[in-house]
Amino acid sequence: MPVDSPVTILGWVRTVRTGKEVAFLEVNDGSCMKNVQGVVNQPERFPILDKILTGAAIRMKGKLVASAGKGQKYEVAVDGLDLVGEADATFPLQKKRHSMEFLRDIAHLRPRTNTFGAVNRLRSKLAFAIHKYYQERGFFYIHTPIISASDCEGAGNLFRVTTVDLHHPPMKDGRLDWDADFFGTEAYLTVSGQLEGELLATALGDIYTFGPTFRAENSNTARHAAEFWMIEPEMAWAELEDNMNLAEDFLKFLFRYALDQCKDEMDFFSQWVDPGVRETLEGIVQSKFERLPYSEAIRILERSGEKFEYPVSWGIDMQSEHERYLTERTFKKPVIVYDYPEEIKAFYMRLNDDGKTVRAMDVLVPKVGEIIGGSQREERFDILVDRMKKKGIENVEAYSWYLDIRRYGSVPHAGFGLGFERALMYISGMGNIRDVVPFPRVPRWAKF
RNA sequence: UGCCCUGUAGCUCAGUCGGUAGAGCAGCUGACUGUUAAUCAGCGGGUCGCUGGUUCGAGCCCAGCCGGGGCAGCCA
């Protein structure tokens, strides 16, 4: 747009500075980090200025001009000013830093801050980048059910879905009669689309899901939410090596995409949220993720000389402190740990020839911890059934549909789950999952 | 769920030994010819989370409850 073009600015006032001869209005319309400065000469022409405070929605007409001041190249010489929506002095957001805790209480207004504007734009761009990545590589986007009847998907507690009158539930033989419920059986919100994803992968080849996921765990940490979005690719004709390659390439693609497509947002995060995240991501895009077998990881931890709260030995489920040691101290970059002990991993993971480990992998990153969990799936019918029984799954028949994939035309396949919010945390440097989702759901909090 | 920290003005916080409430920002009034979280002068603003207890007297000490946060577990 050339200088001297007529412009109309629609946006929300971030700050007003008034003088006798000149007034300045800084306006942001949410489209980017930058504000536009409106300059009002002879402010007495616009009595409405008295009512325009921080937070007001205004329409500003004028001419685009080269700025006479420092700090911006261009500005708007205002000759028309309307107050579209007043914001009085009770408007909670001020032109200074607020605590994240306070902003969570006003989650309906926090998108108007620099930080949450940046987070929400990043979130949108990366959601698109996920589709771009998989679509360009021939993966099909599939929709797995959000309501699920299988209660043993393996990951944590589930939210029940029901239409029964909880005060007067239908009873039969002294027990609740689920046959009288909406689906004629117990139903839950999904904790993973993986099992259904496998069904589609063994038909379409490579697929991915990207949708909401629900865990009813009473988790009170900065990296757990009751409702979050998960990306789950699943590849037929693929083994663990392919899975690790995909995970690494995919994460790097997302980092690169954020650096290239969200430059101003990344600069903002790097300056105000987590000093140097931009440089950290740039470094990681260039480097290779460290890949090490679980047994090797345990050896490193044992030899570290570090005093861990939870002692280290082969067979333990690694604790936060162990994962952090590996990513933050030993390697200072993402680490893929694979070939975990069979005892501590889910039934569907492929058993190695040693009979002791399975083809599982976790991608760990500094600060956030586990960002990806995945595996090569057990495609051998008999071994899968054995492992299900060994893991204490009583009604193996309930999984006949899952087992049928191994009964008919079984192929090696592999996949993983990436927590979208955890990726956003890592990329933005935001320290709490509640601040990378517009309206977070965590224990005791479902407001807005 | 466990351990720890925390709750004072619209916001961010200070508040000494238990003696009856304070600063910055925001708002209002005024000053200022170009500001950048503008600056300068002045003004208004409080159920100290709630309930009870100890005390002549509680923001401060004690108990219970409610809210928020951190770490851990569960996991993405």
A24 CB and strand B closer than 7 A: yes
* pLDDT at residue A156 tops 70: no
- pLDDT (0 to 100) of residue A246: 98
- pLDDT tens readout for residues A252-304: 999 999 999 999 999 999 989 998 899 999 999 999 999 999 999 999 999 99
- pLDDT (0 to 100) of residue A436: 96
- pLDDT (0 to 100) of residue A447: 87
- pLDDT tens readout for residues A8-36: 999 999 999 988 889 999 999 999 999 99
Q: Which nucleotide is nearest to A18 (CA to C1')?
A: B35
The pLDDT mean for chain A works out to 93
Protein-covered nucleotides of chain B (CB closer than 7 Å) are 1-2, 10-13, 25-29, 31-38, 67-76
Do you know the residue count of chain A? 448
Upper half-sphere CA count for residue A90 (Cβ side, 13 Å): 1
Per the DSSP assignment, residues forming a β-bridge with A420 are none
* pLDDT at residue A440 tops 90: yes
- pLDDT tens readout for residues A380-399: 999 999 999 998 888 888 89
Task: Name residue, tokens 């629609």.
Answer: A10
- pLDDT (0 to 100) of residue A155: 54
In 3D space, the residue among A289, A193, A163, A220 whose CA is nearest the CA of residue A443 turns out to be A220
Q: Which two tokens stand for residue A354?
A: 């040693």
Q: What is the pTM of this model?
A: 0.94
Spatial distance between the Cα atoms of A430 and A116, rounded to a whole number of angstroms = 10
pLDDT classification of A71: cutoffs 50, 70, 90: confident
Spatial distance between the Cα atoms of A407 and A52, rounded to a whole number of angstroms = 70
- pLDDT (0 to 100) of residue A97: 83
Please report, as a single letter, which amino acid is at residue A127: A
Please report, as a single letter, which amino acid is at residue A262: C
A252 CB and strand B closer than 7 A: no
Please report, as a single letter, which amino acid is at residue A157: N
Per the DSSP assignment, residues forming a β-bridge with A26 are A15, A37
Query: Per mean pLDDT, which range of A95-99, A187-191, A243-247 is the poorest?
Result: A95-99
Spatial distance between the Cα atoms of A334 and A328, rounded to a whole number of angstroms = 9
**Per-residue CB contacts under 7 A with strand B, chain A residues 316-335:** 317, 319-321, 324
Spatial distance between the Cα atoms of A29 and A57, rounded to a whole number of angstroms = 9
- pLDDT (0 to 100) of residue A119: 96
Spatial distance between the Cα atoms of A118 and A258, rounded to a whole number of angstroms = 11
pLDDT classification of A312: cutoffs 50, 70, 90: very high
Give the angle subtended at the CA of A29 by the CAs of A86 and A80, to the nearest 5°.
Answer: 60
Q: Which nucleotide is nearest to A217 (CA to C1')?
A: B74
